[in-house]
């Protein structure tokens, strides 16, 4: 098994192409569609580099695997489906995310997961040619978070980050620090210590070079937020206190309404334009002038 990594510095996102060099079978995990929030424009530089690599290696991409409905970047899954014939798959509990955000954005898209090609169950083995992917449900950051295990490597999305950084935040709708503790401490930390961990983002603490690979053993020993001997109450208190100080991700509203819809952009209005919805003064009530009501 070979792993090629693609880093998007604009969103600190790591995309992985996992493939068998002999058979050319492959899966892609968490691809990025570039988005400029100032000009409200999408572009495809990141995914074009990925496609160039795939075609150069003559890979057969069976699946695009989404670890969750990302809140910090748009997914390029539909481009890969269209151009490479890959199926788009995500955890089955994406339906909980869809129902939450469809109401929040007051937009109409299916909330039964039907826009995805495959909904993944916890413990499911996904066959991608010569590759076998085991799905490990790791909710907490969102209810639909999945970690994917391929051979001796796991791809943790936003659940577990580099061993010098920490874990994912849990303050999004339906997030839970208690569930994240269970996901990491009781599930991932029970894997062998030499299991390789590939993370979904790297925020480069201290200004170090970007990194994306650690191990379960290093995480249990070094992770500043959740070590192997950290108890549940300590982690939950730390996570909830820290999350209360965090601002919303820069692309939260743009990302979730696209990604919960399998990476499909909103339909054009009668004037031919597509629109992303941004809730105004979320969590507060104001009058027409913007003053608190």
Q: How confident is the model at residue 106 (pLDDT cuts 50, 70, 90)?
A: confident
The rounded percent of the chain whose pLDDT value lies above 70 is 100
What is the average pLDDT across 118-143?
98
- Judged by average pLDDT, the poorest of 13-17, 44-48, 203-207, 281-285 is 281-285
Predicted confidence at residue 103, as pLDDT, reads 82
Is 283 a residue whose pLDDT tops 80? Answer: no
Who's near 11: CB < 8 A, 6+ residues apart?
32, 72, 73, 201, 251
What is the average pLDDT across 156-162?
98
Note the residue count of the chain: 293
CA–CA distance, 11 with 279 (Å, rounded to integer):
22
- Please give the domain boundaries of the chain with CATH numbers for all domains: 2-259 (3.60.15.10)
Predicted TM-score (pTM) of the model is 0.96
What is the average pLDDT across 278-283?
84
33-43 pLDDT, tens per residue? Answer: 999 999 999 99
CA–CA distance, 4 with 19 (Å, rounded to integer):
8
212-245 pLDDT, tens per residue? Answer: 999 999 999 999 999 999 999 999 999 999 999 9
């Amino acid at each position: 098994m070979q792993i090629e990594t693609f880093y998007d510095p604009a969103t600190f996102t790591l995309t992985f192409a996992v493939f068998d060099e002999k058979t050319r079978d492959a899966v892609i995990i968490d691809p990025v569609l570039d988005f400029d929030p100032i000009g409200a424009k999408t572009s495809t530089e990141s995914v074009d580099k990925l496609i160039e690599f795939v075609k150069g290696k003559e890979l057969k991409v069976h699946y695009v695997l989404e670890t969750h409905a990302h809140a910090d970047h748009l997914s390029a899954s539909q481009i890969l489906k269209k151009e490479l014939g890959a199926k788009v798959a995500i955890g089955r509990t994406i339906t909980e995310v869809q129902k939450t955000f469809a109401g929040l954005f007051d937009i109409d898209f299916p909330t039964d997961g039907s826009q995805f090609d495959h909904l993944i169950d916890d413990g499911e083995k996904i066959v991608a040619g010569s590759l076998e992917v085991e799905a490990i449900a790791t909710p907490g950051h969102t209810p639909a978070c999945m970690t994917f295990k391929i051979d001796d490597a796991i791809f943790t999305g936003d659940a577990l980050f580099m061993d010098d950084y920490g874990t994912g935040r849990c303050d999004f709708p339906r997030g839970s620090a208690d569930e994240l503790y269970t996901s990491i401490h009781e599930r991932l930390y029970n894997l062998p210590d030499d299991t390789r961990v590939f993370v979904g983002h790297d925020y480069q603490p201290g200004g170090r070079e970007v990194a994306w690979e650690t191990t379960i053993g290093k995480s249990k020993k070094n992770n500043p937020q959740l070590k192997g001997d950290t108890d549940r109450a300590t982690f939950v208190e730390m996570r909830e206190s820290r999350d209360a100080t965090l601002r919303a991700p820069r692309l939260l509203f743009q990302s979730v309404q696209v990604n919960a819809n399998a990476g499909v952009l909103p339909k054009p209005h009668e004037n031919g334009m597509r629109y992303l919805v941004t809730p105004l003064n979320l969590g507060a009530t104001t009058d027409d002038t913007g003053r608190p009501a």
